[in-house]
Structure 1
Amino acid sequence: MEKSTIMKKSPLYMIFFGILLLASACKDAYEDNTYMAYEEKPIALLLKSDPDGKYALWVEILEKADLYNTLNLDRTYTFFAPTNAGVESYLQKLGLSSVSQMTKEDANYLIKYHLIPGAQIDLGQFQSGAINDLNATDDNLYIEFRALGLEAVYLNSESRINAFDIKATNGIIHGLDDVLVPLTATIYNRLEDPKFSIFREAVVATGLDEILKRVYTEAVDQNGEPIQQRFRYTTFAVSNSTFAKEGIHSLEDLVQKLEVPSGSDYKDTENDLNKYVAYHILAQQRSYADLGAYPDGVYTTNFETMATNELIKVSEGPSELVINATADMQSYIQFVEFNIVAKNGVVHEVDNWMPLFLPERVQVIWEFTDYPDIAANVTQYRNPTLGSQYNKTFAASELTSIKWSTIPETRPDALIYRNLRPADPLYPATLNNDYLLATLGESGWIEMKSPAIVRGKYRVTYVWPSPRNATNTGIVSFIMDNQEIYPRLVISNTSSEARRTQVLGTVDFPETTSHTFRVLSLDGKLITMDYLQFDPID
């Protein structure tokens, strides 16, 4: 059975969004403004001048979309180009006999789906998983390596890449056997596969289908202007055949298996059916590669689910990742298929009905940027290939995961998300090349909830990028669950910019739950925040 795989997400499209929104234009806006460098050629011209004409139909679509001259601009792009045979097959599936029968809007969207603006992504950067940079339709494209090496590298599990790293003056082209079908299916749509009918019924019964159907959420930005936030999820789906191994052949059987009281409210978050379904959903997109992205020397991670205080455990197994393994590895859950991609996240099929499980304590890396509403509001979230530093200033109305109080109350720049470019001195000092900056004023504070942490005793370490400063500034104290755990730490000092760590002390959590962490500003100066690390101790 084929298994598809993924890299990581990172929205890099807004820089050139205005350029690419040409679907409504009557004429290519850049028809008289193309870019050439001596005998080399930009992307569109390079495809058009292919000596064998193997991209001729794709160039026709490019011209139909009025984006031909856009892809000759002095910009940076990664472009996936299907050959004529692939385009012919695509047209046949649509019942069209020629490119001329496509609408301009459809051609425009199709081209943008195959285009990643602002980044040159070559073969050396491919890894199994989602390409970090979003394409021009705000979607991840997914790389999959199959058994035959470079002869079997697939995009979105549907098109083989037949040519790598065709260099143009303004980017890179990769050739495809087939046209990619733009992704429109949500996670809920993926669950409409008949093999998931019992699980889907449970999703609907609990009301959790609403989030799995949703692609965009309406919100307002810091200026009070309406915006659309895009949340992504991960779902661990159970097939009917897997349920059958437990004697579950219907939703009613599942309810009985869970010992849910008859007539109870399945939409109540404390209801056991609701907990069961929510346990199979993560509030962020986690590809197979993301699930296995362990820190050095760590081989197990606990992930918080949408069931309150319930965790799934992902470990390195004998040959691949496994879920909820016992300490002796005698029992664990395996993936049947992973990275079933959707417009609003990803689905992984598992080979067990996956009831709630209490994992043991493991090291916890709580990254302060790792919140769904931060990812939904940031256009360059964790982008590792930026050409310049990216900053996003948050309004309190944009976030529910983080709260703050400033002195004065009207301070406009209290909290900033920063994504670093690789050339930045602090780039190697940060986890996932991003962190938060807070300027709260003297006695101001910022507060957030941790993910659920398994009960027990831990050593707590604060990790942050320390900017060089003329004097010691950014002096703070730390409070956990209303108890001060460290009275005074200097964030910036006169030494070189670097990653710094400070053990804050030990905590002993009596139950598995989330915890409130507050940073109190003692001098009102800049505070930088990367992550807290919890290491189990006896």
Structure 2
Amino acid sequence: MKTLISKKWLALITVIIALTAVLAGCKREQFQLETTSDVNILGYLQKDPGSYSMFISILEKAGSAGTLNGYGTYTLFVPTNDAVKLYLKDINKSSVTDISEADAKDIVKIHLIRDTITSDQFNDGKLRTPTMYGQSLLTGAQNIGGLTTLTINRQATVLKADIRTGNGIIHVIDHVLKPAKLTGAQMIEQNPSYSIFTQALKATTLYDTLNVLPANAPDSLHMFYTVMAESDAVFKAAGINSFADLKAKYSNTGNPASIQDSLHLYMDYHILPGLKYLPDIFKASSHTTLSPLDVITTKLVGSDILINDDDFDGKHEPGSAVDRANSDNTTANGVLHAMAQDYFIKVRFPVPVYWEVTDQPEFQKLNGIYRVTNKSSAKFADGDIQDIRWQTGSVQYMCAPEARQFYVYHNDYLYIAALRTAATANSWIELKTPLLVKGRYKVWICFIRRGGGKGVSVLFDGTLLPRVLNLTESLPSQVLVGSNWTYPSGSTPASLEALGKKITFGGGKVPFYNNPAQTIDYYKDNYGLLAGTITVTKTDRHIIRLQATADASGDVDIDMIHFIPETMDQQYPKFNPDGTVIQKP
């Protein structure tokens, strides 16, 4: 059976801004840029007491008027007098004088950012700088009558934007913003739609973890949490109608409070350390969870954010969708997201990954070049390829010419112009791997011998592997036996493997040097070198780096990288230029 990880795994789309989908077909409200001659924000507000006098009173009560009357760089979201009146009615107060000084300070802090942020930076998600209150503001869009308006924290609409003053920018809004006061645990508990999830949090004691305010957290690593919560309706769709059903399905010890219990781990798997709003979720391919050895993988497909939508062991595993409309809820100690579908920890065992490094989305989009004989791409610069980074030189996609076969899988390879030591630093190239299941693997670098890479170290997630590879060395020359080119005397697959080498080419009827009368099962100038054995501690995508340690002229050509569980056969399968995979006879 084919054991390749599908190339679709690498086609993660992490650069799509979700607002594009929201605004498609809609006209965005246009704001007139206004630059005032006033030297400060307070002066601008004081010029229009009919619109802002009540918020000025809140500033004065909070002792913040002087701050906005002096030097600085601020962004202030200013609620109008009508907005303040709505707020007073909501809290059963008759005037601003009835607001306490502490509450006035909180109001000002949640509306004020020590940064200058214009409306063109209001992409769907959190603003780049948190408020003086310490919480981030969320911006979004809503379509009303074909006109898309900007929203802040889902609480207010922007009426007027980008008013530039001497010490900052003003955005006028139609409601007073309210800081989050509830912890994540409290927000979940107060929503009856999460009754099963709430019971599970309490049974596992994770409710207590999510009920600590940042000021009371033991350290900075435990201040904020992001929760991917599942509603009763989502559980019901998964055949779980009560907490008793959930416990029966997942609790293997009968004691969910035990950190070893499977239900505890299930709930851990729904909690991510730190503050992660939806753009943070889909812009990274994976996220750690409170389950010690497990991550969730994430990808954006169109406008859908999917959890654990993976290609594994040659098969596609459909992901679970996030309920975007009900997510991005700021809590006093984190963020609460809603799942549209259930997800759980998948029990997986190490499987070999035979990774063709040219399976990059940027290469696959090269129409008329990708896997077309004797074609090559233009040079890529560092930053052009999503999952490959490098220092010095350039990278190209290349497909071998018909008259000069290199006997590499799909006849293509990654061309690295220079992997050598420089005067100031060693050059390197880093690649993000496909999904690797936790376990121990032997790592094989499969390449075409050329003139570069005389000494190359391999690092996995920053850990140096034991062998330094010489990518300029040929194997002993092949010999002709009948019409087949094969291993020279004294060399066998087993003897080569003992030296940390293997032939990755499958042989058979593929002609040698374009001679259809001859075939080959061994070739001296493309093979695999064993870099060492790694321990993958988390099922995730990882980083592998090739680092030059010795100078040598010429390029380096990489075909595949094999991650094979250490107890499995390291020789098979083999891979032919025509895309066929040769299994062990």
Q: What TM-score do the two structures reach when normalised by structure 2?
A: 0.55
Q: CA deviation at 1:311?
A: 2.0
- After superposition, the C-alpha distances for 1:489-537 in whole angstroms (9 at most, x for unaligned) are xxxxxxxxxxxxxxx96754466469999xxxxxxxxxxxxxxxxx975
* Aligned: 1:254 with 2:238: no
The residue aligned with 1:495 is none
Distance in 2, Cα, partners of 1:265 & 1:273: 9
Instruction: Label 1:146 to 1:45 Cα distance change in 2 as closer, same or farther (>3 A).
Output: same
Distance in 2, Cα, partners of 1:71 & 1:232: 30
Instruction: Label 1:138 to 1:281 Cα distance change in 2 as closer, same or farther (>3 A).
Output: same
Q: CA deviation at 1:339?
A: 0.7
Identity percentage over the alignment? 26
Note if contact 1:238-1:352 (Cα within 8 Å) is conserved in structure 2: yes
The residue aligned with 1:183 is 180
3-state DSSP of counterpart to 2:345: coil
Distance in 1, Cα, partners of 2:36 & 2:239: 70
Query: Which residues in structure 2 correspond to 1:193-232 (within 5 Å)?
Result: 193-216=191-214, 231-232=223-224
Q: CA deviation at 1:191?
A: 0.6
The residue aligned with 2:437 is 454
Q: CA deviation at 1:457?
A: 6.6
* Aligned: 1:331 with 2:335: no
* Aligned: 1:108 with 2:98: no
Pairing partner for 1:348 from 337, 340, 344: 337
Instruction: Label 1:99 to 1:175 Cα distance change in 2 as closer, same or farther (>3 A).
Output: same
Instruction: Label 1:246 to 1:73 Cα distance change in 2 as closer, same or farther (>3 A).
Output: same
Q: CA deviation at 1:147?
A: 3.2
- After superposition, the C-alpha distances for 1:299-358 in whole angstroms (9 at most, x for unaligned) are xx2322111212212122243221122536673211222212212111111122212136
Q: CA deviation at 1:178?
A: 0.1
Count of aligned positions: 364
Letter in 1 for 2:143: A
Distance in 2, Cα, partners of 1:350 & 1:514: 21
- Structure 2's unaligned 5+ residue stretches are 1-16, 20-34, 356-383, 388-434, 446-456, 469-529, 544-559, 564-585
3-state DSSP of counterpart to 2:437: coil
Distance in 1, Cα, partners of 2:341 & 2:177: 32
Instruction: Label 1:345 to 1:170 Cα distance change in 2 as closer, same or farther (>3 A).
Output: same
Pairing partner for 1:271 from 261, 270, 286: 261
Q: CA deviation at 1:58?
A: 0.9
Distance in 2, Cα, partners of 1:242 & 1:107: 40
Instruction: Label 1:153 to 1:484 Cα distance change in 2 as closer, same or farther (>3 A).
Output: same
Query: Which residues in structure 2 correspond to 1:288-437 (within 5 Å)?
Result: 288-294=278-284, 301-327=285-311, 331-336=318-323, 337-357=326-346
Letter in 2 for 1:130: K
- After superposition, the C-alpha distances for 1:66-95 in whole angstroms (9 at most, x for unaligned) are 211210111111100001111001001111
Query: Which residues in structure 2 correspond to 1:38-117 (within 5 Å)?
Result: 39-50=37-48, 53-117=50-114
Note if contact 1:218-1:229 (Cα within 8 Å) is conserved in structure 2: no
Instruction: Label 1:292 to 1:459 Cα distance change in 2 as closer, same or farther (>3 A).
Output: farther
Note if contact 1:153-1:160 (Cα within 8 Å) is conserved in structure 2: yes
Distance in 1, Cα, partners of 2:561 & 2:336: 31
Instruction: Label 1:286 to 1:308 Cα distance change in 2 as closer, same or farther (>3 A).
Output: same
Note if contact 2:467-2:532 (Cα within 8 Å) is conserved in structure 1: no
Note if contact 1:44-1:71 (Cα within 8 Å) is conserved in structure 2: yes
The residue aligned with 2:568 is none
The residue aligned with 1:154 is 151
Letter in 1 for 2:42: A
The residue aligned with 1:139 is 135
The residue aligned with 1:499 is none
Q: What TM-score do the two structures reach when normalised by structure 1?
A: 0.59
- After superposition, the C-alpha distances for 1:395-437 in whole angstroms (9 at most, x for unaligned) are xxxxxxxxxxxxxxxxxxxxxxxxxxxxxxxxx9xx9xxxxxx
Distance in 1, Cα, partners of 2:226 & 2:179: 20
Distance in 1, Cα, partners of 2:444 & 2:212: 39
Distance in 2, Cα, partners of 1:458 & 1:162: 58
Q: CA deviation at 1:129?
A: 1.0
Distance in 1, Cα, partners of 2:205 & 2:175: 38
Letter in 2 for 1:285: L
Pairing partner for 1:236 from 228, 231, 234: 228
Letter in 1 for 2:237: K
Note if contact 1:217-1:230 (Cα within 8 Å) is conserved in structure 2: no
Distance in 2, Cα, partners of 1:150 & 1:122: 20
3-state DSSP of counterpart to 2:136: coil
- Structure 1's unaligned 5+ residue stretches are 8-36, 221-226, 295-300, 364-427, 432-451, 461-475, 488-503, 518-534
Q: CA deviation at 1:215?
A: 2.2
Instruction: Label 1:173 to 1:511 Cα distance change in 2 as closer, same or farther (>3 A).
Output: closer
Distance in 2, Cα, partners of 1:123 & 1:482: 44
**Whose radius of gyration is greater, 1 or 2?**
2
Q: CA deviation at 1:41?
A: 3.1
Letter in 2 for 1:239: S
Distance in 1, Cα, partners of 2:245 & 2:36: 71
Distance in 1, Cα, partners of 2:183 & 2:111: 19
3-state DSSP of counterpart to 2:234: helix
Note if contact 2:465-2:533 (Cα within 8 Å) is conserved in structure 1: no
Note if contact 2:286-2:541 (Cα within 8 Å) is conserved in structure 1: no
RMSD: 4.3
3-state DSSP of counterpart to 2:104: helix
Q: CA deviation at 1:247?
A: 2.9
3-state DSSP of counterpart to 1:188: helix
Letter in 1 for 2:138: Y
Letter in 2 for 1:311: V
3-state DSSP of counterpart to 1:109: helix
Instruction: Label 1:482 to 1:145 Cα distance change in 2 as closer, same or farther (>3 A).
Output: closer
Letter in 1 for 2:308: N
Distance in 2, Cα, partners of 1:120 & 1:228: 27
3-state DSSP of counterpart to 2:143: coil
Distance in 2, Cα, partners of 1:191 & 1:209: 10
3-state DSSP of counterpart to 2:320: coil
Distance in 1, Cα, partners of 2:220 & 2:462: 33
Q: CA deviation at 1:60?
A: 1.4
Instruction: Label 1:357 to 1:315 Cα distance change in 2 as closer, same or farther (>3 A).
Output: farther
Letter in 1 for 2:206: L
